[in-house]
Chain A
Amino acid sequence: MVHLPEPTESKEMDTIEQWIRNSEMPRASMSDQIMDKIGEISMRKKQKPSVIRKTAIAVSAAAVLGVGVIGMGYVSPAMAATLQQIPVIGSLFSGVSEERLQIAMDQGIATNPNLSVTHDGVTLKVSELLYDGTRLALQIEREGIDMPSVIMPYQGNDEKKGYIKHPTLLADGKEIKFTEGAFGEVPYKDHTILVDLSKGLSLPDQFELTIQTEVSQVKEPFIFKIPVKINNQALALKPNATKASDSFSYTVKQLELTPVSTRLVLDSEGTVPAAPEQSGQYSPSMMYYDIVDDQGNVLNQNQVDFFHRLPDTAYHIDQLYSGFRATPKSITFKPYTFTVKTSDWSIVGESNGKLGDKTYIKELELTIPVQP
């Protein structure tokens, strides 16, 4: 029970003011989402418009609330903690089993070009390169500059030497087109940036990759030419398998397996089913899909997008996951939702390193056989 005391007027005003001052914020900290927005804006202003959307690099997932898709550039402390548990942190290849990495290297998918260019005391080195036919990612390391930032902060000073500018990538002399990608600093790896083109690529198995970039206060551009040649043995499945329950159905259109990544393309239709606890002030999120191999190993989704609204009734999903440990005999899709509090769009069960509580919809599970 709370009583409003009233000994003196000023005491009473103090109480009112204290009540106001002690008001709770009805949601989790907004710092991650604001930092992401700041990152996005700086990308938009510094780079050509809408070239790259910031995406989560990440091993498990980047969870950021907000309108639209947000992600990386900035990695939340929670996510960083998750990242830290994975060996070879900061590597493009972290999370890939030794065996698969060996295969990837044999096929030319994973390489360490270690190519460096030096101008005016600054050295840039292309340290890691990954291209598996569906995703092109690379890391560039900087040497000779002491400051911690590698990418210019939004209000950063152009006159400061050493910021790496957004690189342009060319294949056989033509600018590489893509629809979704990331450009950012690599968490837990100093002086390193990542360029990660993950969607909409249309590249051959063999080409000459040119990377052009600039460094602030260094006149000459940094140009790298790297021959890329992969022995593309990606397994492309087109199961066209549909699963439906009540008002919701989805069709797995395509699944592309490489040693380092798995791409899932699917369409869904209908209203996302709501569990009993997902009613009233709570709602189910859009549908997400776990991919599980025949041994029960769950793949990591590279990026999980959260939207600040109730789920739509139709989705076209094109998502990258980690690679399978070995080509499985069968693959199971486990659809799930998060529970969202609609007043502030917070995710129930969100905590350090965990995106939220998943509600699996058993009736919508689907297993498809794999025949290599």
Chain B
Amino acid sequence: MQPTIPGEVEERGKAIEAVIDRVKNGDKQAYASIIRQFERQMYTYCYYILKNHEETEDAVQDIFIRAYENLHRYSRQVSFSAWLYKMAYNHMMNMKKKQGRWLKLVNEVKAQQPKVEISPKESVIEEMLTYLTPEERHILLLKAVEQYSFDEIGDIMGIKPATIRKKYERLRRKLLEHKIHKGGNTHGTFA
């Protein structure tokens, strides 16, 4: 876990709220800083779900645009971050519905393409994620990317927090089991 200075998260939240207020009051350009604040993590989240850079880019773009368009609906009852990720989650769920055989297709395309410039860590992450169901992937990624609590993940995905916790335990066992089966491979070293 990244060390967190007490009050830091709260401070960051306040700063974001201030920027959101500016955007709502007509300072459109201030939204650029919101994008910069969240884009890397958002990219990570989308990429490990979509597994394709082009689609990820489109998705990240669509999510930020949609968030902008709906900003007037955002109120401070939830954190902006959780609100944004809820939008991202729904967006990707919709993408999946529309595209039907999407996951299979993406995997096939991926199998045909040699991997380009993926760090050893990323390829391990990608391999691990193949053992998980799409739902489990969302849970793991949301927990990893923004360090959300089970409550927050539950809110984003529309599932009870207790269920999320159970599912998380299950996915953790799955991952660790696979590591044991794989033996030296994932335990091994990477240049």
Which residues of A come within 8 Å of B, CB atoms?
A: 1-4, 6, 9, 12-14, 16-21, 23-27, 29-35, 37-39, 41, 74, 147-149, 152-157, 160, 281, 343-344
Chain A to chain B contacts (Cβ below 8 Å), 16 pairs: A1-B189, A4-B124, A16-B125, A19-B121, A21-B2, A23-B121, A25-B40, A30-B57, A30-B60, A30-B64, A34-B32, A35-B29, A41-B69, A153-B27, A153-B28, A281-B116
- Contact indicator B65/A343 (Cβ below 8 Å): no
- Contact indicator A30/B1 (Cβ below 8 Å): no
Chain B: minimal CB distance from A73 (Å): 9
- Contact indicator B57/A344 (Cβ below 8 Å): yes
Q: Is B143's CB within 8 Å of the partner chain A? A: yes
State the CA gap A9–B124 with chains docked (Å).
Answer: 17
Q: Is B110's CB within 8 Å of the partner chain A? A: no
**Chain A residues, CB < 8 A from B2:** 18, 21
- Contact indicator B117/A281 (Cβ below 8 Å): yes
Given A1-B189, A14-B1, A21-B44, CB of A343 within 8 Å of CB of B117: yes
- Contact indicator B68/A154 (Cβ below 8 Å): yes
Residue in contact with B69 in the complex, picked from A18, A23, A155, A160, CB distance below 8 Å: A155
State the CA gap A14–B147 with chains docked (Å).
Answer: 10
- Contact indicator A38/B175 (Cβ below 8 Å): no
- Contact indicator B26/A153 (Cβ below 8 Å): yes
Given A17-B143, A155-B71, CB of A26 within 8 Å of CB of B117: yes
**Chain A residues, CB < 8 A from B31:** 35, 38
B152-191 vs A, CB cutoff 8 Å, 1 = contact: the mask equals 0000000000000000000010011001000000110111
Q: Is B61's CB within 8 Å of the partner chain A? A: yes
Q: Is B21's CB within 8 Å of the partner chain A? A: no
Given A29-B39, A37-B61, CB of A2 within 8 Å of CB of B190: yes
Residue in contact with A30 in the complex, picked from B27, B35, B41, CB distance below 8 Å: B35
State the CA gap A154–B140 with chains docked (Å).
Answer: 35
The residue in chain B whose Cβ has the minimal distance to the Cβ of A42 is: B28
Q: Is B95's CB within 8 Å of the partner chain A? A: no
State the CA gap A38–B70 with chains docked (Å).
Answer: 12
- Contact indicator B61/A33 (Cβ below 8 Å): yes
State the CA gap A30–B176 with chains docked (Å).
Answer: 35
Q: Is B120's CB within 8 Å of the partner chain A? A: yes
**Chain A residues, CB < 8 A from B147:** 17, 21
The residue in chain B whose Cβ has the minimal distance to the Cβ of A156 is: B26
State the CA gap A163–B68 with chains docked (Å).
Answer: 19
**Chain A residues, CB < 8 A from B125:** 16, 19-20, 23
Given A2-B189, A4-B186, A30-B60, CB of A20 within 8 Å of CB of B39: no
